[in-house]
Chains A and B, each alone.
Chain A
Amino acid sequence: MTKKEVTHLIRNRRVFALTLFMPLLLMTIVGLAFSGEVKHITTVIVNKDGGPLSQKFIDALKVSDTLRIRYYEDDEPQAEALVRDGLAKVVILIPSTFEDDLKSSKALIYVMLDGSDPVSAGAVAPVVQGIALSFTPKLSVQVERLVMYNPSLRYIDFIAPAIIGIFLQIFPMILISMAIAGERERGTIEQLIATPVSGFEILFGKLIVYMGFGFLSATTMLIVAVYVFSLVVRGSVLLIALFLAVFLTASLSLGTLVSAGSRTQMQAVQTIMPVIYIMIFLSGTFYPIEAMSPLVQPISYILPLTYMIHALRSVIVKGAGLEVVAKDFIFLSAYTIIMLVMAVAVFRKKLE
């Protein structure tokens, strides 16, 4: 009996590959994404002092792995704009009195954090404090919760937009690929393509229906997040809807592509599973991408979900406008167009 089951498992190559490959893949992804401390958090320095002592302190900050100092600004508003646009996560402000204060008595520096990413924010403060302490005990750090978007650093504000992104990536994709594979499995596709209805019509009939479902799901999730968990939607609802439409089209097209390679619903789901794991863990849902191993970061940056989550967080939590998320929008649109064209090309109205 066992032997028979083992034979079944080995013969069914897809499942066999899945049982061997999935655990390997899953553990590798999680390991690469989440191992060690949070690293390489993009940082803006605002050095108002400009003296040699302040320069020495900046050099001390540079040694740390946690921070990656990429920008130098003269004013707080400019620095904050960088955070708002998602280009940086941390602002370290050195006041103009830094050197004088340090010589006389005690000095203070300010750390301002991107509240929409509590994971990075949480990691930065102790690190900067540690560096300051070893620089000189006279220097103390004030972690200014001068964070504009999410002063209470609530995890729900961080996670809710991501969950919407993930859901819209996964469910419409599964549903449409199962719907198409299901037609093939039940044999209805043969009767259907024997009619003069075009492949385009068949595909778009399905796309539109599942697009509607996707919008319904996203709205439901937003309503729950807003009314039950008091998420504040700061940005334009219209902009959110625009992103949903583009992203849903991409998910559904990807689902269509998956179904093209699947004879049964089971196969479709099995193909989707590994893709889902990669997307969930590498899209920056739970953990900032900057902190992941450089090995997997390139993957993160080609996942549409990464851009969708970034856009949703920016718009929902920070109230960003289109100009801020333009990069995400352009990437997602391009990706969607490519996916859609491929889906239409693959969804041919023939058997075989």
Chain B
Amino acid sequence: MTRDVVQTSGLTKKFGGLVAVDHMDLSVNAGEIFGFLGPNGAGKTTTVRILCGLMMPTSGTATVVGHDVVTEPEEVKQRIGYMPQAYGLYDDLTVDENLEFFGSIYRVPRDERRKRADEILQLVRLEDFRKHYAGQLSGGMKRRLSLAVSLIHNPELLILDEPTAGIDPPLRRIFWQYFRELNKRGVTFFINTHYMDEAELCDRLALISYGKLVSLGSPTELKRKAVGGERVEFVTADLRRTGEILKDSELVREIHTSDGGIQLTVEEAASAIPRLTSLLREHGVEVLQVRQLQPSLEDVFIKLVEDAGERTRL
């Protein structure tokens, strides 16, 4: 079940002297929501354009849904959906006409086209706007239509380039509901984003900086990697003694005192918390509160980029 939907190896794209994508090795598993996280200008858009067969890589290879993007771009295009960063639908066509047009050039049979259009418009809640010109829709509705168009041919992989850039938080949440709904039906997602809260929602993340892959893993894994474990905070009646006891535990990697508590770095919080709690109890220290500290993904990102020896542009 871990068939690679996207597989790149040494993928590189140069624009003159500028290296936009630098030896990128990626693999995206079937059925996951894969986040491609990086600041503006990190090479995210260039990467997805190569994956969609819109640009030729300078070197390296990319296989998407089992086809090489250089030698068989049309096979790739037929089986993936792409939502570009810039809205690119026909303003002088209606919502229905846009879907009909794109359905026809993806060679979706007429009956199925109708059926899918109904289904998708219901999903993105545009049923009541079918006869409206795309140009008359609000910014948020245009985005929803854009998503709808990318779904018309029932793609197995959706590549979304900053799908929620510049739209308000409530609509972003709605978009993520759509994504999950579609993901449940088996669609794999490749999502470009620079929103950290959005990145948290991905199954796996690739951190990108200056066209290079900095780190790859689930949000939890990345945090663990950045911090060198997981952070836990103990609040006890006797902080000084707590510190002394925990300092000697082999579970604790790092320790320092904060306002009203002791912060630790451990390998894995879930197993360490009960063991350390009972250790403290054995020594007669009353544990008032224990919680796992979540480093923000933003901190993680900056930390990992710095670790990778890069100057960050965030």
Contact = CB atoms under 8 A, between A and B. Distances in A.
Contact of A351 (B55, B74, B87, B106): B55
Nearest to A188: B88
Interface in B128-187: 146, 149
Given A351-B54, A351-B55, A352-B55, A195 B106 contact: yes
B56 interface: yes
B84 interface: yes
B89 A188 contact: yes
A196 B84 contact: no
B151 to A, nearest CB: 13
Contacts of B149: 191
Contacts of A198: 74
Contacts of A186: 88, 91
B270 interface: no
A191 B77 contact: no
Contacts of A192: 88, 105
B78 interface: yes
Interface size class of B (residues with CB under 8 A): 20 to 34
Contacts of B91: 186
A189 B88 contact: yes
A156 to B, nearest CB: 38
Interface string B48-60: 0100111110000
Contact of A187 (B74, B77, B86): B86
Nearest to B105: A197
A190 to B, nearest CB: 5
Contact of B86 (A190, A194, A196, A350): A190
Nearest to B79: A196
Given A189-B88, A191-B82, A195-B105, 20 more contacts: A186-B91, A187-B84, A187-B86, A187-B87, A188-B88, A190-B84, A190-B88, A191-B149, A192-B105, A193-B54, A194-B52, A194-B77, A194-B84, A195-B106, A196-B75, A196-B77, A196-B78, A196-B107, A197-B105, A352-B55
Nearest to B86: A187
Nearest to A201: B105
B102 interface: yes
A176 B106 CA distance: 24
Contacts of B86: 187, 190
Contacts of B84: 187, 190-191, 194
Contacts of B88: 186-192
16 contacts: A187-B84, A188-B89, A189-B88, A190-B88, A191-B84, A191-B88, A192-B88, A193-B54, A194-B52, A194-B53, A194-B77, A194-B84, A195-B77, A196-B105, A196-B106, A351-B49
A183 to B, nearest CB: 9
A277 B89 CA distance: 35
A181 to B, nearest CB: 14
Contacts of B74: 196, 198
A190 B48 CA distance: 12
A32 B55 CA distance: 47
Interface string B74-114: 11011000101011111100000000001001110000000
Contact of B89 (A191, A201, A350): A191
Contacts of A187: 84, 86-88
Nearest to A205: B105
Given A191-B88, A191-B89, A350 B77 contact: no
A193 B52 CA distance: 9
Interface string A175-214: 0000000000011111111111110010000000000000
Nearest to A198: B74
Contact of A190 (B54, B75, B90): B54
A77 B211 CA distance: 79
A167 to B, nearest CB: 25
A191 B87 CA distance: 9
Interface string A97-140: 00000000000000000000000000000000000000000000
Nearest to A186: B88
A197 B101 CA distance: 11
Interface centre among A189, A192, A195, A196 (most CB of B within 10 A): A195
Contacts of B75: 196
Contacts of B90: 188
B56 A350 contact: yes
A44 B68 CA distance: 69
Interface in A299-352: 350-352
Nearest to B104: A197
Contacts of A197: 105
Nearest to A194: B82
A198 B106 CA distance: 11
Nearest 4 CB-CB pairs, A to B? A187-B88, A191-B88, A187-B86, A194-B82
Nearest to A351: B54
Max count, chain A CB within 10 A of own CB: residue among B54, B82, B149: B54
B102 to A, nearest CB: 7
Contacts of B102: 191, 195
Interface string B211-230: 00000000000000000000
A246 to B, nearest CB: 29
Which of B78, B88, B149 has the largest number of chain A CB atoms within 10 A?
Answer: B88
B73 to A, nearest CB: 8
Nearest to B55: A351
A125 B149 CA distance: 70
A182 to B, nearest CB: 10
Interface string B33-66: 0000000000000000100111110000000000
A191 B152 CA distance: 13
A193 B55 CA distance: 10
B107 A350 contact: no
